[in-house]
Amino acid sequence: MTAVWNRGERADDAAAEREFARVSAGIDLDAAARAIERGAIATPTIASADVSELAGCRVALKAESLQVAGSFKLRGALAKLAALGARADDGLIAASAGNHARAVAQAARLAGVGCEVFMPRDAPVSKVAAVERLGASVRLSGASVEEALELAIARADETGAALVHPFDDLDVIAGQGTVGLELLADVPELARVIVPVGGGGLASGIGLALRRERPDVELVGVQASACAPLAAALAGAGAGGTPEFPAAATIADGIALKHPGRFTLPLLRELLSSLETVSEDEIAAAMVFLAERAKLVAEGAGAVAVAAAMSARLPPREGTTVAIVSGGNVDNGLLASLLRRHETVAGRRVRMFTRVPDRPGGLADLLKLIADARANLLTLEHVREAVALNVRETGVELTLETRGPEHAEQVRQALERAGYDVRFD
């Protein structure tokens, strides 16, 4: 994890302060709290001894991954729906590659209104199917979320349906801010909140809730180091716009945006205490940690706050630090791949190559030794080409599940004592 910006680097800027005051005045957290009651749940805040030990201070997890539709986004969608009133009768339009699309489709279903969602052409099939199951009409258009959003804006102008922006909307920001209201109610010794930052709606909303009741609470934003344009935007932000920076591929694709919004930028500049970045390996480790130790499924963007806490590079702070697990809509194949990768790194999954006599029972003798050593065979492949083999001999490549590096070494020694030449990859 790397610190890329902190409030102390902010230059005094009267124009920016006026812009913050203007934008924040239009955000009604109390109305949003009433609006989300129709479809969202108050998600649990779960103490985590394991993360606390790594962080060096008391840490709890706000499990927005357990929210209806799988992420915090439903809060903003419901708040916008309530603010629209009768205007929502003409239908809702949104653009998203995943979480926001599901949230708006869910909100429209609850209200009994139509919903049209623009998603990038390469959006995961599972996410498209999830939105369609909620009754929304999906249009696969554009090479990116930004292009899909442009098409959605044009469609809203054409049809008169209401656009629900994923983050740059005062009502949406207010809805996301209800996460902060719940933290204030549930965590008496709240000292710091660590929050993922993409477009900035969640961090802005939580920051406003904290500013209203507990301005002493630190708000730490986190981005993926592969795509972290916000630091430069914050450093150069005044009241005059939102600089754009190239997006990049990251496992935290849900927060890989080119820039914050025209509303969220002045809010973030005032509300964030610091901005941190985490690496791809740190994000992957946090996803695996949450699955194995907290029994929470988190997508990459949803795990970056936990990755920041686990890094132990944030200064310890008295009271409770809360890391927001913002979403759990991860592709099953990706999560399975990360779990297998972690088992390999941890030495619990090893690949070995050896040679056995090419005769009946030759392989069975090897497998009995492995079973006696209490290792679990996952895969086995005969290798008869591109390796040096004696006559009447065959190579075998095996993937084994062990209890860890020490157990893997015990397996190796058992095989070598029996005369096998073993190579572990």
Q: CA-to-CA distance for 208 and 24, rounded, in angstroms?
A: 8
Sheet holding 190-196, edge to edge: 2-6, 274-278, 218-224, 190-196, 320-325, 58-63, 45-47
Of 82, 308, 329, 48, nearest in space to 203 by CA: 308
Please name the residue ranges forming H helices in 5-133: 14-24, 29-35, 49-55, 73-84, 99-111, 125-133
Exposed (0-12), middle (13-18) or buried (19+): which is 339, by Cβ within 10 Å? middle
Active site (annotated) includes residue 73: yes
73, 80, 127, 258: the active-site residue: 73
Q: CA-to-CA distance for 62 and 73, rounded, in angstroms?
A: 14
Q: Which residues of 209-237 are buried (b: 16+ CB within 10 A; e: fewer)?
A: bbbeeeeebbbbbbbbbbbbbbbebbeeb
48, 71, 204, 326: the active-site residue: 326
Active site (annotated) includes residue 326: yes
CB of 39 closer than 8 Å to CB of 111: no
Q: CA-to-CA distance for 358 and 377, rounded, in angstroms?
A: 20
> Which residues belong to the active site?
73, 326
